[in-house]
Amino acid sequence: MDFGLALRTPRNDGNSGLCPLPNSAACVSCRAYKHTNHEETPMPAFPASTTVLDSILFRDAFGTPQMRGVFSDVALVSRYAEVEVALAKAEAKCGVIPQDAADQIAARTNVAALDFDLLRQETDIVGYPILPLVHQMVKQCGEAGRYVHWGATTQDIMDTAVVLQLRAALEIVERDIAVLRKILAGLSKRYRDTPMAGRTHLQQALPVTFGYKTAIWLAMFDRHAERLAQLKPRLLVGQFAGAAGTLASLGDKGFEVQEALCAELKLGVPASTWHVARDGFAEAVNFLALVTGSLGKIALDIMIMASTEFAEVYEPFVKGRGASSTMPQKRNPISSELMLAASKAVRQHAGLMLDAMVQDFERATGPWHAEWIAIPESFVLTAGALHQAKFALAGLIVDERKMNDNLAVSRGLIVAEAVMMGLAPQIGRQEAHDVVYDACRLANEKGMSLADALTADPRISSRIDRATIEALTSPKNYLGLAPAMVDRVLKSATR
């Protein structure tokens, strides 16, 4: 992308082309480009984005083009216009405005022809974009323009437009979750019987299988798919209620127009006005927090398992990805790191959305505005995290040999419980616990295998032969129902 030196960064005082900082020593651009006259030298052109969501450097690490498109300014204004046009059509059907006026509004409304700079300036003055948009739509629609926005209030249009955005955004999330579930199901089947060390408190606990681990991940996303299906009917409802939510301006036509508008947009009809009842939007972002929270858990597991001391899994190899500028041997788990970061950011926005539910009387003050920050960012971050997860898990490199080596590192101590339970029927559980505890201590002190330590104790060797001891201390023989649990997860939902 060539931004060209003809573009200039505007000063804070409105004079474009001059560096805004008061002295060249503080200006990175002046130092980098050896400006000699700080106040008069035009700055080279750079993109003006200030967040990772729009940055040319980071935007595809933390988001996706498709989700950014859903929440772009042009898309949002297009949704506003879509709702205004749908309102005109609905009101014409209900006899509130002339049919010809509605036809003209639909035919002549042209988002591409809007003056977005003027829209920005007037929005900055008014505080909301709808009145500035209506000004331009009225001009576009000529005589029919008098019927634009008939009986509506700003929040009706903005809320309904956001619902339309959320419907499109959730379709993306739903598809990504479906793909991720398929990937996790494949991993679970493939590694159903692959033994590895199960860990609690970061210590080896009991043997599990890698398929068991991925089946746990899969079950989370099965539940997320169920949550999403349940969420949509509550969330995807229109908003049209007028100034204080009573539809007073439309008289006895209020409900009829409301229903016709929702039908036009293929949205549900609200039972009551939700200008200040924001549980639907809060639920949507908190749903995303659950999704990214699960992705963060997966990411943390992968990152630890990819550490040098574990070396059990790796993200897909792409030349240069995860490289260090100073350590050529490094292969950092970049996708997992991005997933974890996104989960933390969305979690913060989930809290913001809960805070924004506390709104005053019939129309809110600042809490409503907080949604404008939290909703788009949460969806873009979630899309980015899901994208990274699909990449990392679809090509996940699993080192079964290393898993087996790590399983053996405790020299059989990881299945001390199996020995204890094997002895319990003969000598009682408590005595079995005590003698196995002593054997474990001996194995640790002498660097012995658990099997050798058990054989050295006559209280055990007199009751259990060496072959049985070997069988009891083999981690592969103590997987419990891990493989069966994989089967149960795979059968529990439609794939």
319-365 residue pLDDT tens: 766 545 555 455 788 899 999 999 999 999 999 999 999 988 888 78
Domain boundaries of the chain, sorted by first residue? 1-48, 157-239+266-401, 413-473
pLDDT tier, 8 (very low <50, low <70, confident <90, very high otherwise):
very low
For residue 257, what pLDDT is reported? 94
- Tell me what the pLDDT averaged over the chain comes to: 87
For residue 412, give the nearest of 458, 469, 464 by alpha carbon. Answer: 469
pLDDT above 70 for 36: no
Active-site residue flag, 294: no
pLDDT above 80 for 10: no
Of 23-37, 306-320, 481-495, the range with the lowest mean pLDDT is: 23-37
Query: For 413-473, which CATH class?
Result: mainly alpha
Query: For 157-239+266-401, which CATH class?
Result: mainly alpha
pLDDT digits (tens, 9 = 90+) for 98-138: 999 999 999 999 999 999 999 999 999 998 999 999 999 99
Question: Of the residues 16, 49, 324, 461, which is catalytic?
Answer: 324
Instruction: Judge whether 157 and 84 are in contact, CB under 8 Å.
Output: yes
Instruction: Judge whether 335 and 392 are in contact, CB under 8 Å.
Output: yes
For residue 341, what pLDDT is reported? 96
Q: How many CB atoms lie within 10 A of CB 36?
A: 8
Average pLDDT over residues 469-492: 91
For residue 2, what pLDDT is reported? 34
Active-site residue flag, 201: yes
For residue 413, what pLDDT is reported? 85
For residue 1, what pLDDT is reported? 34
Q: How many CB atoms lie within 10 A of CB 330?
A: 11
For residue 29, what pLDDT is reported? 44
Greater confidence, 53 or 366? 53
Winning range, highest mean pLDDT, from 5-9, 339-343, 490-494: 339-343
Which string of b and e fits 89-105 if b means at least 16 CB within 10 Å?
bbbbbbebbeeebbebb
Can you tell me the distance from the alpha carbon of 470 to that of 278, in angstroms, rounded to the nearest whole number? 62
Average pLDDT over residues 455-466: 85
Dmax over CA atoms of the chain, in Å, equals 103
pLDDT tier, 28 (very low <50, low <70, confident <90, very high otherwise):
very low
For residue 322, what pLDDT is reported? 55
pLDDT above 60 for 30: no
pLDDT above 60 for 27: no
Can you tell me the distance from the alpha carbon of 160 to that of 238, in angstroms, rounded to the nearest whole number? 5
pLDDT more than 70, % of the chain: 88
The contacts of residue 183 (CB under 8 Å, 6+ apart) are 390, 393, 394
pLDDT above 80 for 162: yes
User: Around 84, how many Cα atoms within 13 Å sit in the side-chain half-sphere?
Assistant: 36
Q: What pairs with residue 174 in β-bridges?
A: none
